[in-house]
Chains A and B, each alone.
Chain A
């Protein structure tokens, strides 16, 4: 069931209610609302046209090129968001997100979905978008937690070193905490899925005309792919960050400002 452009306009009219409430409360969000929705409409229109073009072409080279653009974009977004040790972050993020992508995506494509053609834009781009988006957010959280776990408690780190700990042994407690902070909320979301909320992908597929059974199978597959990718990305990111954050005597390398 398509939405007509008139219909879409009517949907946008729903924003009258927030605008009225903002005005009643003299809340200065109206301008931001118009900017945000304006940007969303512009960006989605462009990406929609581009995706439609990719889907029409069905050229695996274009699909892979777009996958690479998505990856670079994710890394640059993350780099802008993380406010510490920027000098060493790009290669770390590249390896982390790259590893997660290279393990999970071929698994899904070669073993699970096996679309024809294999690099069909219709499968690769939406699934990779979900895998990458989640890995990116999780990596940011895990790295932030790890860095703050270290810098909030250097004394603990130095005490372990002074008793004979290796770099790995001294950094393991904040490493564990960072993984926990990043992964536990996701596991809780997974546990509540279907009861509390219908995931976006499933909703989309059902609206798009797929059977609910097909939609839940995709959803299960995507959750396994996302969780596996997220864990891999967090682990590789912190592991590599650790190696570049410390020198060969396990002492922290000062951040160049």
Chain B
């Protein structure tokens, strides 16, 4: 089986600071991978390298056998979608927030059949009612915003979902809902940074970054 993503990086930087050496990893379709490590160890820099948001590295990352840098950036980022720690939703209603990306060139080219049904399924799965669609996005709580940000990403049917500490500002219960939901509702590949112990127990593969090196652990749970 060929790798969906292959990461060969000799040196990874944050701006000019050297963080990690000698990364050689393959990721299969549908894998769920957790990145762990201390603050400043390079977790986010690695995650950001996977969707062309960080290009400070020596080496090559390939997606479906083709170098990331050979893709038009918007096409790549519509297939490898990132959700950030503190989501930005903008000023409109939740419906408008969800619809904005549908106008993008890269998204228009994708088949998004049954998107509305999918959104309502996702709302249900994330324990939000449909009445949220009419609410102003900037008036939602932190946990609600983060769930809307995830629905916004998942409705696009990405092949890979990159999650950067998306539950770090949330309570245990909300974090649990989000974790469950991603596991049961998203068939694609997930690469996530998280400190949440709840998450660490259930992810079958983890990349631990310490002392400038990355260790790949696979456990069958």
Contact = CB atoms under 8 A, between A and B. Distances in A.
B183 interface: no
Interface string B72-94: 01110111011110111010000
A164 B104 contact: yes
Interface in A6-39: none
Interface stretch (A83-91, A151-159, A237-245): A151-159
A81 to B, nearest CB: 31
Contacts, number: 68
Interface in A107-135: none
B9 interface: no
B73 A249 contact: yes
A249 B104 contact: no
Interface string A159-196: 11111111001000000000000000000000000000
Interface of A: 153, 155-156, 158-166, 169, 248-251
B81 A249 contact: no
A173 to B, nearest CB: 8
A9 to B, nearest CB: 58
Contact of B104 (A153, A165, A248, A250): A165
Contacts of B69: 249
Most buried by A among B69, B74, B100: B74
Given A163-B104, A169-B104, A156 B90 contact: yes
A159 B87 contact: yes
Contacts of A166: 74, 104-106
Given A162-B82, A166-B74, 20 more contacts: A155-B84, A158-B84, A158-B88, A159-B87, A161-B73, A161-B77, A162-B51, A162-B84, A163-B78, A163-B100, A163-B104, A163-B107, A163-B156, A164-B106, A164-B107, A169-B74, A248-B73, A249-B52, A250-B73, A251-B53
